[in-house]
Amino acid sequence: MAAEQGTRTAGREVPPALTRYRVMANVVGVLLIALIVVAVPLKHWAGIPGPVSVLGTAHGWLYGLFFLATIDLALRARWSVKGTVLTVLAGTVPFLSFAAERAATRKTRNGERV
């Protein structure tokens, strides 16, 4: 009956993958906001380029880990290609990563396909 409703039963490997995804989504979201709201204005208005270099590099590397965590969860929870791509892209838009993380977490916990 669950398959008829489009829901999916989460295996034992999904909860740890969901935790990894949630941590990385929040870390990447916070770093992206810090980069856009703090570092970029410091660079352009105060002539201080250091924070952009540090936060930009950190965000870039951690986005790579976010990407891997998202793909890992998507494969384990059997997300759709569209849902996976949209979730990955949400990590590149300030504040959107938080909304996407909440939606993906809710759907995954409910056994729904993202």
CA distance 31 to 50: 15
3-state SS, residue 3: coil
1 pLDDT higher than 70: no
CA distance 15 to 19: 6
- pLDDT of 5 reads 41
Say if residues 24 and 88 touch (Cβ distance below 8 Å): no
User: What is the domain partition of the chain in residue ranges?
Assistant: 14-109
The model carries a pTM of 0.85
For 17-59, what is each residue's pLDDT tens digit? 999 999 999 999 999 999 999 999 999 999 999 999 999 999 9
For 75-94, what is each residue's pLDDT tens digit? 999 999 999 999 999 989 98
